[in-house]
Structure 1
Amino acid sequence: MADNERTHRMMTAGLNLIQQALSIYDSNLKLAVCNDRFQEMFDLPDHLVTPGAGFEETIRYLAKRGDYGAVDDIDVFTQARVDQARAFEPHYMERSRANGRMISVEGSPLPQGGWVTVYTDITRTKRQEALLHARSEELSDQLTGYSEELTATNRQLEATITALEAAKRQLTASEARTRLTTEMMPAHIAHVGPDRRYTYSNRRLSSVMPGSQSDIVGLTVEEAMGKKSYRPIHSRLEAAFAGTPSVFEFTHLPSTRRIRTAFTPDGIEGGVYILSMDITEEAQTRAALQQTRRRELAAQMTNGLAHDFANLLTIILGMQSKLQRMDLGGAADALITATLAAARRGGGLLNRIADMTGPREHHPTPTDLPAFLTDLEPMARSTLPDGVTFEIDNQAGPGPWLLDAGMLQDSLLNLILNARDACGPTGTITLRVTTVQNTWLEYSVSDTGPGFSRQALSRALEPFFTTKGGEGSGLGLGMVYDMTKLAGGRIGLSNTETGAHVALQLPLRPAGSALPPGMVLLVEDSADLRLTIRDMLREAGHAVVEATSVTEALTLLPELPEISALLSDITLEGDQTGLDLLTALPSDHCPAFLMTSLPPDHRLHQRALALAPVLRKPFTAAQLTAFLSQRPAS
């Protein structure tokens, strides 16, 4: 405040040294600042030269005093001057005052709004002009006229130059703001001239399409992007040069990013304006929603058929069982047994269809990848013959990553079983996990079998397609495809030199860092569970304080301000639940987490999801650690 006051005094002292009167009014026509010469020249009272004084009030005061000569209607005259001021246009005028003095008035608008006006006493100058005019007999009438015109023109020129300089400053500031704004946008904005070379770029091309150049002004689009990346957009760009705008999506192959680009023809210079955005996450989410909708449509179409088919199978099984009890013998028994086997296989097929079309949602949670693979390994090995080797190669690091562990485990086990069937009694199956272009987390399963046939490569993901004859349902890879799409991912089939290769690519979503060691308040009414979870927390480096009810937890929290996190079961001892505990916490409470064994469709489970992250029981220590790395309720 002291610095501002000192600056204001210095500015006022400087303005008072000016021989001309000066006033600055803001955009609301309120006086911002003036010098002493302004008050002296117009003989104004103190309240009209105090910051905040109204322009309208000052004009009315001068008009009533006769400073503008005879005025018929003071109100109309004052309003006209106010309207002229609100136009904020540069102006220059000369007028005589009631005291006989002549002044010039030169006004110029300010970039922030309002204007500055300079008043100059030109009485002496005018007298000299009158004297010169009086001696016109000694000078030519033409020279006198030119002199007067030149003087007036010079004054107007000075006002024009001042206005142009102010406009230039505003234009420069506007251009700087525009460039700063475009460079901050998460999109590439550019202009390409008729020669197909960039004339402007906000230098965001490399962030939208990794691997591209940043400083591209002067380059062609193909030079900036590379031939491989330029190929998908070439025809659209040429159409834009021909006058056809377009908005489209394409995959930037070097980075695997999904890009949305808009080409807008420039009707003035003949070029094209370009706007490009990275919509990879949007495309992944859109694919997941589309797959969910397909599942819903498939369920609607198959549920009725499955119901009728199940009734028919029930009748067939019942009738065949009766025939079997009749002891018909001979060929009849073989036919009855075959019919029963076929009907049971049909029932199994119905169950598989229900699994594919039934309601299932993708619920990613923080997952420790090494722990997930450690849990997967014994399940996979138990399905393989002794001669088949199973190897896991994790090149993606520990994470934690946001994954639907159950859905991913089902998919990988399905691929491993297919690889087992391809290998036969001996061979090697390899599960490798890598990251791709910082966009995907890839799980690839390869085997040393004969590989996919040409037909299988093109149709293996279709429902009911199988190469196993009567032994296969043709739904295995279809289920993997379905679950991958629900996660917003993609699946690819190929052959290698050693056998088949299936790659699942799921969106790469880091889950954040683990909860730092601290004191955790554990609220659980089961003594056995409390002991188990306490040990898990202590192994992760946390100190643990325990409670069995909402009342006990709320009593401990204010007594132990060092508590850094809260982990509570939903169902607790007494009438209150973990939801009541979270609702009763103060606004600045520590991070809070919930756990439960309730099914996902239970009303308490559904309500809990709106309050805090929820961990399903049972869980391992690694799953708990990954869970606590989520952003909790706070």
Structure 2
Amino acid sequence: MQHPADFPLPASARAPSNSQARLELATRAARLGIWDWNLLDGTFVYSDRAREICGLPPGEEPLRLEQVQACTHPDDLPRTRAMLQRALDPAIRENVPYEYRVVHADGTVRWVLAHGAVEFAPVDGAERAVRYTGTLQDITEQRQLREALESSRARLQLALDAGRMAVWEADLRNDVIHGSAQFNRLLGFPEDASPTMEQIRAGYPPGERERVEQEGRAALARGELFFETEYRYCWPSGELRWLLLRAQTLFEDGQPSRAVGVLMDVTARHRVEEKLRTSEARLKLAQRVGDIGVWEWELSSGNARWSPEMYMLFGVDPQAGISPEQVWREGVLAKDRAAVDEAVRRSTEGGRPLDIEFRIRVHGETRWLRSKGTPVTTPDGRVRMIGVNQDVTRAHRQKLALEDRNRALQEQAVQIGRERERLFELSRDMFGVLGFDGSFRAANPAWSRILGHDEASLFARPFLEWIHPEDRMAAAAVMDGLERGEPVPPFESRMQTSHGGWRWIAWTAVAEDELVYLVGRDATHEKLAAQELEAANRQLRQQIEGRERVEATLRQMQRLEAVGQLTSGVAHDFNNLLTIVLGNIDLLEMVVQEPKVRRRLELMRQAALRGATLTSQLLAFSRRQRLEPKALDLNGTVHGMSELLKSTMGGSVEVTTRLQPGLWSALVDPTQIELVILNLAINARDAMPVGGSLTIETANASLAEEPQQPGEPGPGDYVVIAVADTGTGMTDEVRARVFEPFFTTKDVGKGSGLGLAQVLGFVQQSGGGVRVQSAPGAGTTVRVYLPRARALAVAEDAAPATRHRAPTHRGRRLALLVDDDVAVRDVTAARLRRLGFDVLEAGSGGAALDLLDRAPQVDLLVADFAMPGMNGAEVARQARSRRPELPVLFVTGYADQAALAVVGDERVVQKPFRDDELERMVLAAAGG
């Protein structure tokens, strides 16, 4: 066996021989084993102590790695191998102690603590581990002690958790407290919190902390080191809890320095005690309110114990000191006392409960008590009777009154019987008694008075045969229900009279003892009156419904009129602004060639055009847009839009058309109807997010009924175009609001809510109406009814392509421009100059007429229609009075159709100017 000094160590680690001796002495004293692993040849050298620790036989021969690993516990072998690899890796060089188990030859398992150090050196040009040296220590006993301690701590913690106890320690000098996680829970804090003393003290209700501290000081003053109390505590959440505090005070230098103890939540016990106290109080209150007393009587000795309520039943003060025997003897009537004693004797001898009533005298008044008791035998053989007494005087008096009342009722019953017989004979209602087979058993004279049959004729036929054949089945069902014992409602039937006619009878029927009792009332006149009333009510309902439809239509028209008035004013100012924006964009595009700038100008143009479209939609639903109705073939319109619709719908929506042959011509604005179809198709597409089918159908329709809802068409001939989808559909609430302006079910930014309102406005302005059919999950169909044109539809020529015209060569012409808006006038003048005109500008009608009088030659008058003071129409009228041949062109953002009707569509250019519309109209008006 080699000594530690014999192990080859690095030169830097070698020490004098006396150091080696001390090392050997230290290892022996510490009972350490030493090992040395030569990683170059794979041999282990273990000291005697190391072999003993690992359960290897003694010897000096080197060991192999397989021998060392064979004594390692199989469960720990993967972990030790992983740690060994990290220690020998030059890139990691992990050097940590580790514990593992070894198994001796006799099966003994020991715990070992290993410390090692690795020596690295260059080998074949690479650095690697060449030697691993270390110590082994048997720590089985320490491990067992540690596990026992942890187990003890776990059991202690389990006991604390089971008892819901929290452990705490307070530093009294520094006013600091530490507690377990349960301590935080009991005080209403999170388990991982570290509450301060201020936070903890904040939970004491007013005066509670002072009381606890006073009790603690009093215990110390008495020399008691242990202190226990209960107190209320309010959690941060506001919940009030009851806590039990047990503490021991520790002293240093004669002064309290620390306190340790436990804390328990006793809220549940306090609540139970509170409920018990409440229950006892309620029991006492119930005894007093119910005049109930509790007693206990020991038969052998005659001793009795009474509750205070028992004394009060006998009219005796419970504090007067009178024994129950004396109160009983003096209070119970003598004639009843013997009966009570006999009843008690029988109850105790037979072991049966006691229940008896008797009388007592209380302040000169006789009262009745009811006594209930149960005999109980004690373990020593003594018999006791326990029970209650209740004052039942009122019940006795009520019983006597009830008996008197019954006698009176019996006399009344005899009288009522006589009166009923008289009523049966004289009643104007038909009383009858039938068997379940319908045969008559009895009938009063009213049957003969109402129906005209004598009693013999009536009894000759069953009841059902007298009933009208149409009512007989319902009456038979009533009879069957009565036979089954079911309650039946009142019913009516027609009964045959002696002269062959029929009378309405209202019946009430009940069954008892296999007989049916009938009461019939002649309701013929009421029935006729009810029929007349129903007819009158139907007529009234129709009138009310018609009035409601008219009122609903009027309200809708009033709303549209109010919005229309608003939009007319908005359209004028808004269109002026858009004219300025678009006009200046056109001018900038003529002088700017930079691509980026031109792209931004185009974005500005698109935004301005969207604003113009919004204005157009506002005017459409308010029915203030300018329309050019023509006789139109809607089949051709739908056919011409097929490709546009298919591209708009996308690949997920199938577009189908069903066009009726021989379709009437519709009187409608061609441009606007295309927008209507496109609007409805886009709405349908949005209602089919995962795809579906869109069907566009045309048809002729002749309506005769009045509209049921605002917006529906009235009577007349119509050409119908229907747009149907297979989308999500609409609820009744959404369908009722679908044409309201700005109402939309789409997400914010995905719809203005004007699409369908624009459709309704255009259609109603054209003289038609709209109907919507929809249900959730069943798709939507919108039918647009357009007025029939009496003339045949004429195909329109394609509009000539507009193009800029160059100025003529006959010299520049002169245009007089009048507009009250300077910016709009500036833009319009610039566009006129591009057409080769010299421009005279005027800001008002009066200024324009002055210029006209002074100018030698004016070739064209361009006037804003809506101007303050003198509008464009008045300016044109006075200008033509001066120069009758003067061409006039109006530019306007105004929407009053009545005012524009006197001008003519061929002389009106809408603001903002779109494409080359202004240039086309100017050249057409000026003849060049």
Task: State TM-score, norm by structure 2.
Answer: 0.21
For CA contacts below 8 A with separation 6 or more, give which structure has more relative contact order: 1
Task: State TM-score, norm by structure 1.
Answer: 0.30
Counting strand residues as a fraction of each chain, which structure ranks higher?
Answer: 2
Higher alpha-carbon Rg? 2
